[in-house]
Amino acid sequence: MKLTSKGRYAVMALVDIAKFDNINPVSLRDISLRQGISVDFLEQIFSKLKKNEIVKSIRGTQGGYILSKKPSEIKLNNIFDAIDEKVKTVQCKKESKKSCNGKSSKCVTHDLWNELETHINSFFEHKSLEDLVSKKESRI
């Protein structure tokens, strides 16, 4: 299973914004400096997040981004869906008759990896940005 940098960085950037409770817009430059993510990469990510209504952009000298919903209402799977990030533990499609290795039958561990994928996706469906913000604050 692989979660790309795009997925990890999207979550990091949104947690960064969530810490501000939508009081003031947060600029990509500020996120970039705090999280060590290039502004160019953030622009690509935020374009998709805005299109999928995870964030709103605010124009002007004090502009930036705010969350379009409360942090508790934004689940990690919403973020991954918005940026076209898929968590897969097997390469083959579930409905396919062929296996990942191209043979006509599934490999002997296929069901194990498929079950793991279900658990991972369920985890992301239940974790919100609020969970990550409150967990970070409890460590301080």
Give, as one character, the DSSP assignment of residue 71: G
Going through the chain in order, the beta strands assigned E by DSSP cover 55-58, 64-67
The owner of tokens 């000298």 is 61
Name beta bridge partners: 56: 66
Model confidence pLDDT, tens digit, residues 25-40: 999 999 999 999 999 9
* Average pLDDT along the chain: 87
Coil, helix or strand for 36?
A: coil
Cβ atoms < 10 Å from Cβ of 105? 10
**What is the pLDDT, as a whole number, of residue 98?**
60
Query: Greater confidence, 99 or 129?
Result: 129
d(CA 14, CA 93): 30
Query: Greater confidence, 20 or 64?
Result: 64
Model confidence pLDDT, tens digit, residues 54-72: 999 999 888 999 999 999 9
Which domains, from first to last, does the chain contain? 5-87+128-139 (1.10.10.10)
**How many residues in the chain?**
140
Burial of 96 (0-12, 13-18, 19+ CB in 10 A): exposed
Phi, psi of 75 (to 5 degrees): -85, 155
**What is the pLDDT, as a whole number, of residue 140?**
44
d(CA 100, CA 117): 15
